[in-house]
């Protein structure tokens, strides 16, 4: 399968920048997202023998969790636009015979297999499509009638201080801070639940449910301020800052972010925030 077309920029980013960062910080990200993974997979309720697609599977943490649910009689296909992430996923999953992977753009690539999928799942992997309606139409083409879709996505940036607070500090040092336009591909593209419903309805999914969910987040895997700072400074906001300021200003900004994060450290040193997401489910008619 190929990754091209409107999502080429996303493919480049997740292969050269985002993917390597995620692979290096896998433990920290998995720790941070554990509660959201557990709740969204509870909603998915994958059953033994089912055939499931994991969109934006990353390094396979969610794929392997689904594999345990479907058992040896079931199967899971993880797809991601990033070869970097898929390479790491394959290494982690070598012992799971019911798991396979594809480097694929879920918006444009053919996802249909010999047996249609019973369900599609995604943990923070569906907010990056250039044309989300086309993507969900394409995903539906690989799902049997009555098959289900479940994904978890972030509520707006303003509801997630774990990223909005460090980003605001970074932007205060940036001569020309650039805020992402509403609805553009990115982590918060589905912050508006009305837009989610509109996209899925236009893509002809039915029985759409959008449920708010909040849980504690520990930046840096709960390993302290330095680990939280490393995770924050790997964000796109930090990358944008680095491109616009000199070395001295970047160091000053980094220390300001460190000080802001330290204010959220608990007695054991873990940097804690509350994360706010939508857990979305729908049925293919």
Output the domain CATH number for residue 145. 3.40.50.150
Q: How confident is the model at residue 2 (pLDDT cuts 50, 70, 90)?
A: very low
Q: How many helices (H) and strands (E) does the chain have?
A: 11, 7
Q: What is the pLDDT of residue 206?
A: 98
**Higher pLDDT among residues 200 and 245, named by residue:** 200
- Burial state string for 62-80 with b = 16 or more CB within 10 A and e = fewer than 16: bbbbbbebbeeebbbbbbb
Q: Is 266 exposed, middle or buried (0-12, 13-18, 19+ CB in 10 A)?
A: exposed
Residue 101 has pLDDT above 90, yes or no: yes
Q: How many CB atoms lie within 10 A of CB 21?
A: 19
Confirm whether 165 is domain-assigned: no
Q: Given pLDDT bands bounded at 50, 70 and 90, which one contains residue 179?
A: confident
Note whether residue 87 is domain-resident. Answer: yes
In the block, residue with structure tokens 């302290």? 224
> How far apart are the two ends of the chain, measured CA to CA in Å?
26
Residues 6+ apart with CB under 8 A from 248: none
Domain count, the chain: 1
The secondary structure of 162-203, three-state, reads HHHHHHHHHHCCCCCCCCCCCCCCCCCCCCCHHHHHHHHHHC
Going by pLDDT thresholds of 50, 70 and 90, the confidence category of residue 4 is very low
Q: Identify whether 25 is part of a domain.
A: yes
8 Å CB contact between 141 and 55: no
Give yes or no for a contact between 205 and 264, defined as CB atoms under 8 angstroms apart. Answer: no
pLDDT at 242: 82
Least confident of 34-38, 84-88, 181-185: 181-185
63 belongs to a structural domain: yes
What whole-number distance in Å separates Cα of residue 285 and Cα of residue 146?
6
Q: Are the C-beta atoms of 103 and 83 separated by less than 8 Å?
A: yes
Judge whether 108 lies within some domain.
yes
Grade residue 65 by pLDDT with cuts at 50, 70 and 90: very high
* DSSP conformation class of 265: B
Contacts of 280 (CB under 8 A, 6+ apart): 149, 150, 151, 152, 153, 190, 196, 200, 208, 209, 210, 211
99-103 and 75-80 beta bridge pairing: parallel
Answer whether residue 122 is part of any domain: yes
Note the pTM of the prediction, 2 decimals: 0.91
pLDDT band at 71 (very low <50, low <70, confident <90, very high): very high
Q: Residue 18 has what pLDDT?
A: 64
> At 143, which helix (H) or strand (E)?
strand 143-154
* Average pLDDT score over the chain: 90
- Report the DSSP beta bridge partners of residue 99: 76
Query: Does residue 131 lie in a domain region?
Result: yes
> Distance between CA atoms of 215 and 19, rounded to whole angstroms?
25
Q: Which domain holds residue 112?
A: 5-156+182-215+276-283
Name the one residue in this structure whose structure tokens are 């489910």. Answer: 281
The residue among 122, 132, 148 whose CA lies nearest residue 51 is 148
Whether 174 is in a domain gets the answer no
Give, to the nearest 10 degrees, the angle between helix 236-244 and helix 161-171: 0
């Amino acid at each position: 399968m190929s990754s091209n077309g409107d999502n080429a920029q996303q493919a480049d980013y997740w292969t050269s920048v985002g993917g390597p960062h995620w692979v290096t910080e896998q433990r920290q990200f998995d720790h941070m997202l554990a509660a959201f993974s557990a709740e969204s997979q509870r909603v998915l309720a994958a059953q033994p023998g089912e055939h499931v697609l994991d969109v934006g599977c990353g390094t396979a943490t969610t794929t392997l969790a689904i594999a345990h649910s479907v058992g040896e009689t079931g199967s899971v296909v993880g797809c991601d636009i990033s070869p970097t992430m898929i390479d790491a996923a394959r290494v982690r999953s070598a012992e799971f015979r019911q798991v396979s992977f594809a480097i694929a753009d879920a918006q444009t690539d053919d996802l249909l297999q010999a047996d249609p999928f019973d369900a599609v799942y995604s943990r923070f992997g569906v907010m990056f499509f250039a044309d989300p309606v086309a993507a969900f139409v394409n995903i539906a083409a690989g799902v049997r009638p009555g098959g289900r879709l479940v994904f978890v996505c972030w509520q707006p940036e303003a509801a997630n201080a774990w990223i909005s607070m460090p980003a605001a500090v970074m932007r205060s040092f940036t001569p020309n801070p650039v805020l992402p336009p509403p609805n553009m591909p990115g982590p918060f593209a589905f912050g508006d639940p009305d837009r989610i419903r509109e996209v899925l309805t236009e893509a002809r999914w039915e029985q759409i449910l959008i449920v708010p969910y909040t849980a504690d987040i520990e930046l840096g895997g709960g390993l302290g301020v330095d680990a939280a700072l490393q995770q924050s400074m790997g964000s796109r906001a930090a990358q944008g800052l680095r491109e616009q300021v000199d070395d001295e200003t970047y160091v000053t900004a980094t220390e300001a972010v460190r000080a802001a994060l330290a204010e959220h450290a608990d007695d054991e040193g873990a940097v804690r925030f509350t994360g706010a997401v939508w857990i979305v489910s729908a049925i293919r008619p």
